[in-house]
Amino acid sequence: MSIDIVAVRRDLHAMPEVGLDLPLTQAYLLDRLVESGIELTLGTAMSSVTAVVRGGRVDRSNPSQVPTVLVRSDMDALPVAEDTGLDWASGNGAMHACGHDAHMAIVLAAALETQERRADLTGDVIFFFQPGEEGHGGAKLALEEGLLGVSGARPVAALGLHVLAHLLGAGEFASREGAVLSGSTLVDVTITGSGGHGSSPHLARSPLTAAAEAVGAVGIAASHGVSMFEPAAVVFGALRAGEARNVIPDNASLSGVIRSFSEDTDARLQSIVRRTVDGVAHAHGVEAEVVLTQDTVPTVSNGIELDRLDAIAAGVGTSVTRLQQPIGISEDFSWILREVPGVFLLVGARTSDESHLPSNHSARATFSDDVLAPTRDLIVAWVQGRLTDPTRTVH
């Protein structure tokens, strides 16, 4: 069963849904998958769709040893009001501003084509459509629901992809061995003091003053606590306290993010944040509560799997550019790559050669339809090629 991949992408773009519960998106995918006869499993904690293609050239005497690979697409949109002016733009206050509509169209088309070719497959393929990538923990939920065992055999390799509205040239594929994207740990700090009149600060204990000092102190401590050769950052994006200029509030809060490219560095920065905030609070005579939530780990491509993908790409007339350095954004496919060796593939989807195009997550972000079919073809080729070499790669 073939589909018009551009029409599918535009359909999905016009009907974005946010979070873990995406009933319209799930129904749209199911309408096209059910007809093909692909084996389907639906999520319980979220509206995920897992499609398993069973290869025809497989010894199934030991089901747990059947060569299996996994391809993942995210499904969710962002709570962004679209401002692109496209004919197929969303009008419901949400937007596929990160290109997940393109991912779904690509992976859906790859799944349907792989199903048509299943008689020649030497293994099984899991095509996983995941809600909740945008900060809702969808990948971790999927692992808890048994994603890696859904076909009966644990995958030997995994492939994820992401289109970019800027950074890469149109149609360029890119990745790198090691960290491709950063991990992220969410930082939430609540500081409790004792409010009072602005004319008598000595009679109060200002949580706002402590919070403001903590922002700078954490930045200094982090810069001295991590090697200059290890990229990392702690950035606070929100400080909330008070409502009147002459009233010292009782409470203040900080929200920020730790980003790094190794789990060891993240652990060190978490310790620095806790220690520094506690020290500032003690100096100001206030109380501080620090909550650290590991949203993602670094997204890491396995070098052997990347070489395999590049060799397969050469067979379909393309290649995978090696990034010189990782990118400081985060992705929850990282949790899957922590369990299964694989590759996170970046796809350049620029719509022009302008130097300052809107980036992913912008209300004006646009993604080229021209990359859809070539990316589908690469995924289909990777599935076939990787299953011909079912060796399990060691992390």
CA dist 214 and 36 (Å) reads: 57
Closest by Cα among 63, 99, 61, 66 to 80? 99
Catalytic (active site) residue 74: yes
End-to-end CA distance of the chain: 36
The active-site residue, picked from 82, 113, 134, 172, is: 134
162 within 8 A of 347, measured Cβ to Cβ: yes
Amino acid identity of residue 74, one-letter, is: D
Residues of the chain where predicted confidence (pLDDT) is lower than 70: 1
Query: What is the DSSP code (8-state) at residue 95?
Result: B
The active-site residue, picked from 17, 74, 82, 266, is: 74
Q: How much is the pLDDT for 387? A: 96
Convert the pLDDT of each residue in 158-186 to its tens digit.
Answer: 999 999 999 999 999 999 999 999 999 99
302 within 8 A of 343, measured Cβ to Cβ: yes
Burial label, 373 (beta-carbon count in 10 A; 0-12, 13-18, 19+): middle
What is the value of pTM for the model shown? 0.94
Convert the pLDDT of each residue in 323-382 to its tens digit.
Answer: 999 999 999 999 999 999 999 999 999 998 887 899 999 999 999 999 999 999 999 999
Phi, psi of 183 (to 5 degrees): -85, 165
Q: How much is the pLDDT for 394? A: 75
Q: How much is the pLDDT for 174? A: 98
Q: How much is the pLDDT for 353? A: 84
Q: What percentage of the chain has pLDDT greater than the value 70?
A: 100
